[in-house]
Structure 1
């Protein structure tokens, strides 16, 4: 089975784009924006252990769950933004 997969891999052309650093600031910005908004919009952002973040007033002292949820949502929004900006030729 492994030899069949290796043979198939060598015959399939590489049509994907390679990874670069161009989209990194977009994803970082979307994660920080999601973190700043999540502390004020999540119903119970302080349930559980607190995340030791700088600027606690800006981020409203989020819990670990709030931090993980906002980082996940920020990555989803950031990847969508990077794909959209790449598709229109900005990145």
Structure 2
């Protein structure tokens, strides 16, 4: 590879912010948003294994698959928000 190609590749790597309270707040907000979307968006709840512990009423009717799906969606959404805001210089 030439030096020009290496410079172009280095410019394509997004800036990754270090952990801070703002980063944590964005991830928590994204997961809460995903929880609200899942609470009202999942039509058939409770299919599959149930959660091993009793949780508050917000999680009523959720099984393990719903909880894992919702938190996975929340983390994907949060990671996208964090990387996007860091690349825009807002974080």
Scaled by the length of structure 2, the TM-score of the pair is 0.67
Provide the residue aligned with 1:86 in structure 2: 86
Shift in Å, 1:17: 4.3
- Note the residue ranges of structure 2 that are not aligned, 5 or more in a row: 1-12
Provide the residue aligned with 2:38 in structure 1: 38
Provide the residue aligned with 1:68 in structure 2: 68
Provide the residue aligned with 2:8 in structure 1: none
Scaled by the length of structure 1, the TM-score of the pair is 0.67
The count of residues paired between Structure 1 and Structure 2 equals 77
- Note the residue ranges of structure 1 that are not aligned, 5 or more in a row: 1-14
Provide the residue aligned with 1:49 in structure 2: 49
Q: Is the 8 A contact 1:26 1:78 kept in 2?
A: yes
For 1:19-38, list aligned pairs within 5 A: 19-21=18-20, 22-38=22-38
C-alpha RMSD of matched pairs (Å): 2.3
